[in-house]
Amino acid sequence: MFPTKIGRRRFIKTTSSAFLGVAVAPIWSAGPARAKTEQMPTPEYRILGRTGLKVTAVAMGVMNCSDPAVLLRAYDLGVNFYDTANVYMAGKNEEMVGKVFREKRDKVLIQTKIRLKPTEQENRATFETSLRRLQTDYVDVLLWHALQAPEEVSNPEAFECMQKLKKEGKVRFHGFSSHSNMASLLREGAKLNFHDVALVSYNFTHTNELKEAVAIAAKSGIGIVAMKTQAGGYKTEKIGSLSPHQAALRIVLTDHNISTTVPGVTTIEQLDECVAVMGTELSRNDCGTLEQYQSFLQGRICTMCGGCIGECPHGVAHSDLLRAVMYRDGYQNDRLVQEMFGEGDRIQKIKQCAECSACSVRCRRGLDIHAQLKSVYAILS
């Protein structure tokens, strides 16, 4: 959204008129705990596209959380939408969600994700496993996880499988998630009148192309869920006492094409910090904070902004692989790196990238893509 160098006045003007980008995951440093006598925040609700579901503008990405107390706190604060996935924590994430909300199932909305398999039988088996873990006979939203190409969005076999699950009452609404080529996938989804929900990375680093695609998809009736809202979720002590996390979330919510956000909190303090954003306005100070945060991120990690120049001749989805850098450097979570590369042929792809003599893809924000991919391969080796 923003060029490499941008003055504060221009930054503020740009953010107030156009906005930046977003999606799940922060592991930032905890702010001060809320006093027990402090008034509980009032939830802000938005409609999740054509589903008609009334969701809190700030929801919860459960991906990295292993503490049931955080989910219970979110429930007490009025948060009603929870995002997990079949692969998170090798299934233990879904198990925790199921245990916490077993007696509250009708009071919360659960979204989970499965990776698209070649056959309906395989997809069903994976989904049934998720239902058992979640201790429920249905999910409110089921997404095909981490799609990368428009043809995956319009896969007829996937359509048929989802329709059957919906008719059986096991899935209320369905859609897809994506970390790369998001604008293309959203535009494709908008043409189809099939998907109910899309989960995409969206934060203040993203381009106008993604913002426009989000608007098109939202207009078509797709409910947009924003993840990676904190653009790496760096802990405050690593940023030099800067605390940009509320500002980053607040600016995402200025785009009313976004139905809800799923920051990946891991502690009660982080949760309280996020939920407090609902119903508040973006300030001039917020914009100044984000300007500083953007300078910190410059050349450090891939923020999945979609502003890459060129394509890999071998067809390697480099932005997908570079998420590992964010998981390690931002989230400080090596487990996520190992889980990510334990799937499919990603190890071979990262090896191919590391051994390549030169990278034909360039980052508009100065990230040395080849060096970063080599560092990821070194971690895995």
Domain end (from 283, 310, 333): 283
Q: Are residues 13 and 135 in the same domain?
A: yes
Q: Which has the higher per-residue pLDDT, 205 or 223?
A: 223
CA 119 to chain centre: 27
pLDDT of residue 26: 35
Q: Are residues 277 and 334 in the same domain?
A: no
Domain end (from 239, 265, 283): 283
Write down the mean pLDDT value for the chain: 84
Pairing of strands 223-227, 197-201: parallel
Q: Are residues 29 and 162 in the same domain?
A: yes
Q: How many other C-beta atoms can be found within 10 angstroms of the C-beta atom of residue 136? A: 18
Residues 204/16, Cβ–Cβ less than 8 Å = no
Q: Are residues 250 and 114 in the same domain?
A: yes
Is the pLDDT reported for residue 237 higher than 70? no
Domain end (from 283, 300, 326): 283
Residues 28/263, Cβ–Cβ less than 8 Å = no
Q: Are residues 89 and 194 in the same domain?
A: yes
Model pLDDT for residues 83-126, shown as the tens digit of each residue: 999 999 999 999 999 999 999 999 999 999 999 999 999 999 99
Q: Are residues 12 and 75 in the same domain?
A: yes
Q: Which two tokens stand for residue 312?
A: 């890999």
User: How far apart (Å, rounded) are the C-alpha atoms in residues 252 and 290?
Assistant: 12
- Work out the burial of residue 275: count CB atoms within 10 Å of its CB; fewer than 13 is exposed, 13-18 middle, 19 or more buried: buried
14: containing domain: 8-283
Of the candidates 350, 360, 354, 364, the residue with the CA atom closest to the CA atom of residue 321: 350
Q: Are residues 366 and 227 in the same domain?
A: no
**14 — pLDDT class (breaks 50, 70, 90):** low
Q: Which has the higher per-residue pLDDT, 32 or 244?
A: 244
In a domain, 366, yes or no: yes
| Number of domains within the chain | 2
Q: Are residues 278 and 364 in the same domain?
A: no
User: How far apart (Å, rounded) are the C-alpha atoms in residues 29 and 22?
Assistant: 19
What CATH number does the domain containing 64 carry?
3.20.20.100
Q: Are residues 44 and 103 in the same domain?
A: yes
pLDDT of residue 30: 36
